[in-house]
Amino acid sequence: MFRRSWNRFCAGEEKRVGTRTVFVGNHPISETEAYIAQRFCDNRIVSSKYTLWNFLPKNLFEQFRRIANFYFLIIFLVQVTVDTPTSPVTSGLPLFFVITVTAIKQGYEDWLRHRADNEVNKSTVNIIENAKRVKKECEKIKVGDVVEVQADETFPCDLILLSSCTSDGTCYVTTASLDGESNCKTHYAVRDTIALCTAESIDTLRAAIECEQPQPDLYKFVGRINIYSNSLEAVARSLGPENLLLKGATLKSTRKIYGVAVYTGMETKMALNYQGKSQKRSAVEKSINTFLIVYLFILLTKAAVCTTLKYVWQSYPYNDEPWYNQKTQKERETLKVLKMFTDFLSFMVLFNFIIPVSMYVTVEMQKFLGSFFISWDKDFYDEEIKEGALVNTSDLNEELGQVDYVFTDKTGTLTENSMEFIECCIDGHKYNGVTEEVDGLSRTDGPLTHFDKADKNKEELFLRALCLCHTVEIKTNDAVDGATESTELTYVSSSPDEIALVKGAKKYGFTFLGTRNDCMRVENQRKEIEEYELLHTLNFDPVRRRMSVIVKDQKGDIYLFCKGADSAIFPRIQIPEPESTKLRNAIDSTKQHVERSAMNGYRTLGVAFKNIAPDDYERINRQLIEAKMALQDREEKMEEVLDDIETNMNLIGATAVEDKLQDQAAETIEALHAAGLKVWVLTGDKMETAKSTCYACRLFQTSTELLELTTKTIKECERKDRLHELLIEYRKKLLREFPKSTKRNCKKRAWTDQEYGLIIDGATLSLILNSSQECGSSNYKSIFLQICMKCTAVLCCRMAPLQKAQIVRMVKNLKGSPITLSIGDGANDVSMILESHVGIGIKGKEGRQAARNSDYSVPKFKHLKKLLLAHGHLYYVRIAHLVQYFFYKNLCFILPQFLYQFFCGFSQQPLYDAAYLTMYNICFTSLPILAYSLLEQHINIDTLTSDPRLYMNISGNAMLQLGPFLYWTFLAAFEGTVFFFGTYFLFQTSSLEDNGTVYGNWTFGTIVFTVLVFTVTLKLALDTRFWTWINHFVIWGSLAFYVFFSFFWGGIIWPFLKQQRMYFVFAQMLSSVSTWLAIVFLIFISLFPEILLIVLKTVRRRSARNLNLELPMLLSYKHIDSGYS
């Protein structure tokens, strides 16, 4: 029992090796054999983190793992166990407040998860038991149960499709809740079970499914089904992703299906994908930890100094034991070392408020609430997809303002991924897809060779290849009869390229009419219907970079049609005989056409075919079936078979498809460059296509000098020697141009000096990354990085997904740890999105895998401009000011307490009342800074987006560097000193009233505290540039609440207090005119340096308004506004 529970709760972590066997309907294969039901995970979904019983201990354990919370817990325990000068309430209440608020937030979020889980687990589903339809709760589904799913219902677990209401055993599914793809996908039942369309017939099925153990990849599945007849002879069929219906997907355009449960509950692919991404930490969070260590050192220093001076003070007998406060016998007998230790702890307790415990809660609230501004931004809303921006994690908001490198995909990110068929080349002849049709096929706009047109048979063969070599489905209103000539065809595919090619063939007179019963139907130019039996589909994958189909025509001839990237097709073309001049010229002409089309920015594909003899097909079919039936290493075995099949092909031609540049993509890249960011394009496309796109989107300017490290510039022979020569040559050139430059100078040089761009392909990158130190003292990688650092833009083409992640990791590990951002729209971009500091997904047409795995997702690339230059800038400034302000106000708070010890004999006497100690961070000063950190706009958003150079002012974590930190620290030290000694000099006259009433130490402390609260609040008011009614309410409201609380706290005799030391203190204090004048004067003196700084900068700004001056580096917050508002 314990083992089952453990497996259920840790389903995502278990080591999944081997296979599992599932008996369909939980029926034994043979009536004579004993059947022992296997134990699998039940179908309950558990996305919640806590239960009613473990919430308190588990949540407390997680919260006290945070250093600040644990520190205050220790302080609280010290106050409880040791005789300290302050009440345990002063530390316990703020800690309790922080812990409670966080627990309520996390408990509420978990309650929502519990509620969502129950909605799913308690929903009703139909199970086939004993040939009858039985209604059960979803959580009671067991592995092996046969489930009936109706149209528009979601699948309750991962099912293998057995049959559907359609005659060919297909069904249509949308997986929007899994990967965001809204288009219908087609799934298939194996041919032996498609006739089992009723509960009675499905119950007669005796079959066993062998499949891999659960794993989270949504697009991979390996299994086979063994179907047993009455003779107990098994018929084995392979199972793949096309047979698996995932939990969370929805059945569409199909009345009902039957499926058998193979993965349930926390073992479904959807549940396994709950596992969170690795936690990313922002630079601000690291700065907070550094500041905490510094302030902890200050705290320990203060406690050590006070403890030492106390015993120096008590070295004189009349100070150690005055006549009015003699020691008890117990105090005299206590060990001096123990007494010193307890005194040290007492001083630690007295000064512990220098560590701001409430800062963590405020930072969390600021990040959580601030993230809504991105989601609410109307400029991010896209009318086409009816969606806006989405924040998947709010922990990195401020990191958007610290980006140094942007890595972007090309297709679907910089371009629309909306393909349009432009032209093609058939047998070396170019055909323009825009001209009118002549004799069925569009008129050529000029041959590349001396022939006017290609052979008619070659033209038709090419168009048939476009109509047959794809995975396009037909979506029609007539679901029974399929597509006809009069039916309006809607093509559906996961790849926009394939739809563009099928539409291009239709324009030339060859129309794909769909697939029925494994038979592909094509209408030719003569309006005749041609039928081809689809024998095998060899799907596209990023490694092969091509896809193929094997079909049989009505005459019985078998063909393989293949299309793919030119680099994947041309090496597999059958080499012509030396005397075949015409064929050789056709291949050369096609290559030239591909290169020219790529230079024009078009996406190119090669198209090839070959005839397959019946004997060869038998061998190929056997190899494919064996590879598909393998449960172990199926992908590797399939790769070997496909590599053998797709060889010695005959080239037919090539296609050119235009992928238009996204709206404002060029303007966005220009703005990012102006902001000092380096933009790298990482793409799998051809170099010529990618280079053309880079010029179009202004990544490369016409004046940019391009440095190439590609297979063209590096000869095949002696590649490493040539690569080393080029690396050394480029490095010398760049070092000569830019001898030595700081990070800031690198950003500024783009306005004056020659710009350089680098182009590298995947093969050369592999050579660089895998090289050893063979050449001199530096290896290829270090020289390559030096070159990249000097280039304003880098284009990496022919990149595999893993290489994209390697590039990002390489830049992340550069000296100085630059902040990286990756943006992409497809599954091949997920690796680099997860690798970078900030990952942004485009809600594109290649599915939502990138958006699901990103930290932020936006509809278009153009939205990156405002996301970084406006939102990122503001988020960083707000939270940096919040952090500095918290440490500043707490140092102002505690410094007078430290100075007070010099005037009270280091007796650990508190300066402030316990209520003030408790409520300072919770009530009196918390809301103004929270409102500021959410609403402040020190520079108008339009100005931030129109002048990208402002982004450079905050780069490199500028506001949390040593300079600003020291500025805030010295400002706090100055103001704390003014608070204390100003009040001290006021008290040189013992009576502050005409009637001779003498004020005491609590009045002294209250005056200091009043000046403190008003000064730190008014300091924030001086820093505020963007006033709203919320700012006014919380700033003036906090001050009013402090005055009201002080009157209320001191105006009533509280029965639960042993000492009424604050009774009437505040009211009596304000009855003195001297006190009023002193408070106003001390506030003015404390704020005078800030006021003076504002005046000086205003004068400087006005004098520099018409001058084109360098933007200043930050010293304190308001320096950001200097010179350009």
H or E element at residue 27:
none
Task: Output DSSP code: residue 703.
Answer: T
- Nearest CA to 538 out of 621, 605, 452 is that of 621
Q: What are phi and psi of 661, to 5 degrees?
A: -65, 140
Which amino acid is residue 798, in one-letter code?
R
Whether residue 186 contacts residue 171, with contact meaning beta carbons closer than 8 Å, is answered with: yes
Kindly give, in sequence order, each residue whose CB lies less than 8 Å from that of residue 1010, ignoring residues fewer than 6 positions away.
1042, 1046, 1069, 1079
Distance CA 955, CA 870 (A): 13
Token code pair at residue 1102: 């006005």
Burial 210-245 (b: 16+ CB within 10 A, else e): bbbebeeebeebbbbbbbbeeeeeeeebbbbebbbb
Distance CA 344, CA 305 (A): 9
Whether residue 859 contacts residue 387, with contact meaning beta carbons closer than 8 Å, is answered with: yes
- Nearest CA to 260 out of 234, 220, 219, 223 is that of 223
Distance CA 508, CA 500 (A): 13
- Nearest CA to 906 out of 318, 74, 320 is that of 320
Positive or negative torsion for Cα 805, 808, 811, 812: negative
Ranges assigned E (strand) in 597-677: 603-612, 650-661
Q: What are phi and psi of 438, to 5 degrees?
A: -130, 120
H or E element at residue 693:
helix 687-696
**Cβ atoms within 10 Å, residue 445:** 11
- How distant, in Å, are the alpha carbons of 102, 158, 266, 460, 976 from that of 11? 28, 15, 6, 54, 56
The residues pairing with 239 across neighbouring beta strands, listed in sequence order, are 223
Catalytic residue among 409, 566, 761, 829: 409
First to last CA, the chain: 69
Distance CA 179, CA 173 (A): 12
Give the three-class secondary structure for 526.
coil
C-alpha triplet 1119, 1123, 1124: angle, nearest 5°: 110
- How distant, in Å, are the alpha carbons of 85, 92, 327 from that of 79? 8, 9, 21
Secondary structure (DSSP) of 431-498: EETTSPEETTEEPBS--SSS-SS--HHHHHHHHHHHHHSS--EE--S-TTT---TTSPP-EE-S-HHH
Distance CA 56, CA 148 (A): 41
Burial 907-934 (b: 16+ CB within 10 A, else e): ebebbbbbbbbbbbbbebbbbbbbbbbb
Active site residue 409: yes
Distance CA 1064, CA 1085 (A): 28
Kindly give, in sequence order, each residue whose CB lies less than 8 Å from that of residue 776, ignoring residues fewer than 6 positions away.
none
For 1105, counting Cβ atoms within 10 Å of its Cβ (0-12 exposed, 13-18 middle, 19+ buried), the class is: exposed
Catalytic residues: 409
